[in-house]
Each structure stands twice: as C-alpha cells, then as structure tokens.
A = this chain, B = another copy of it.
Amino acid sequence: MGSGIHLRRYRVKEGSKVRLSDWKTDDTLGFDGKKEDGTRLLASSARKIDELQELLYAEHRHRLLVVLQGMDSSGKDGTIRRVFFGVNPEGVRVAHFGRPSVEEAAHDYLWRAHRQTPETGEIVIFNRSHYESVLVERVHGLVQEKVWRKRYAQINDFERMLSEEGTQILKFFLYIDKDEQAKRFQDRLKDSTKHWKFSYLDYNERRFWKDYMAAYEEAVAQTSTEAAPWYVVPSDHPWFRDLVVSQVVLEALKGFGMRYPKLDAVKARLATESGPPGPHKHP
C-alpha cells in the first residue's frame, strides 16, 4: 500500500468472523513511523486528496461514499476536518444522520440515506448513516429482532447496487475504549468552548456500551463486502485514526486511475447536450 502503512490490517474481510476484542483501540502498529511522521503524511495526503477530487469532478465517471460510524466522541467530526483539510468545499459534501425528521421517519430506513448518496464526480461523507438502524434501534429495542436482523441483507443489497452503478463505498468504524470516551467527555466539560458538544443523554448511553459493541461487531461482520468494506480503525489516538482513514480514501481515489478528459471528449459530450444556451443554463 506504500507509505509504510498497512491498511489491510484494519480491513474486515468479507465473511470473516469479527471479535472486536481482537482489535486494540490504541493500536498504532499499522504505521511504520511516529506521530510526527503520521501528521506530516496526513497533511501531504490532504493535498493529494484535493488534487484527485478536482480530477474526480473533471473526469465525471466515479462517485465516492465515505461512511463514518462510532460511539459519541470517537472523532467523526475531527476525522472529516483533518482528512479533508483544504479540500475544495464544492467537491465534498457531508450528510448527517441525526434524529429523523417526521418525513424521514415515515419512510423505510434506507430512504434518507439513498437521497444523500453522491452524484457523479462527488465525494460524500456520511456522518452516521443507515447503520444506525442496526445499532441504536437494536440496542434500544426500537424495532424487533426479526426486523433488524433482515436489515443486514437489505443493506448489502443496497450497497451492492450502488457499487455496481458506479459508487465506491468505504466504511469506517472509529473504535475507542470506554475509558477514553469518559476522558473525552470530561475534557468537554472542562473547556467552556466545548460545552455545546456535551450532552447528558450521550453520557447516559454509556450504560449500553456492551450492547453497542455487540451490535457493531455483528454489523461489521455481516456487511463488510468486497464492494463496500468496513475498516475497524483504532481511534484512541486521533492522529492514527485520521491517518488510516486518509490513506484508505487516498488509495481508493488513486485506484480509479483517472485522467483529465481531452477536448475531443468535451466536444462529444457537448454534441449530445440539447437545448440552448449551455450546460449550466436554464432550459
């Protein structure tokens, strides 16, 4: 994979058994370097991701969907911020999946996810996702087991369709330790500019930690596929978490083997467009 980082170590093979206790939340062994090296690599990777994002848009053939899941304070926001630092905001869109609106709740659980999938040439990041429907809904018994158990296959079918139609999907479970979470919550309480991030309700969710881990374990095992692999990312060390996500995203973009379209292709595209006065004009 280059760069002295061993990404396969964190990738869940399709059909493999997953025991989260086999992973360490503070592991950094996948990288042959220190924190400073990692931070440097992250910064240069962000610049490369920016370049490839422009190419992604220019070539207009691929779509990239990045799914981020993890317990509160596992660092979903921080990861987005640093992995995509300096990337053109026109090419990256973040979709949040919080409490569903009345309209969303009136549909099946994949409806609102489907609406937010990337267009051609676009990178979309799901901050939480359709996976909440086999996580929080399972843990709190909001739906019956016979309902959520069918969802693994439904999700695999949905993601396979997206993949076959041209969307590359990458899924990350940001894996932190329960004590590390407690520490991060306390840090939020100590810093008055972080109070807005603190929620007693989130704190309360700690009582269900074991249930969440069981739900993640099964979700990751059941839905890691060749088309849409899961990465279990050790996330106690934010720099390492950011680095792993960044390298997986970068490798995926490189893997597209993209090239800038030639003028001939531009001419051909224009020839198939109908109606005045131009590609960005009203009909």
Contacts and interface: CB of A to CB of B under 8 A. Distances in A.
A195 B270 contact: no
Contact of A136 (B72, B196, B260, B282): B282
Interface string A197-216: 11111101100000000000
A92 B189 CA distance: 26
Contacts of A276: 140, 201
Contact of A88 (B80, B88, B137): B80
A151 to B, nearest CB: 13
B279 A199 contact: yes
A195 B260 contact: yes
A257 interface: no
Contacts of A270: 199-201
A192 B133 CA distance: 46
User: Could you say how many copies of this chain the assembly holds?
Assistant: 2
Contact of A140 (B59, B195, B260, B277): B277
B260 A193 contact: yes
A267 interface: yes
A279 B201 CA distance: 7
A188 to B, nearest CB: 10
A266 interface: yes
Q: Which of the listed residues A136, A193, A202, A282 has the most CB atoms from chain B within 10 Å of its own CB?
A: A282
11 contacts: A59-B196, A77-B88, A89-B93, A99-B281, A99-B282, A99-B283, A100-B283, A142-B283, A196-B260, A196-B261, A198-B266
Given A59-B196, A202-B279, 19 more contacts: A60-B196, A72-B280, A77-B88, A80-B88, A81-B90, A89-B89, A89-B92, A90-B94, A90-B96, A99-B280, A105-B282, A133-B282, A142-B282, A142-B283, A192-B260, A198-B266, A199-B279, A200-B270, A201-B270
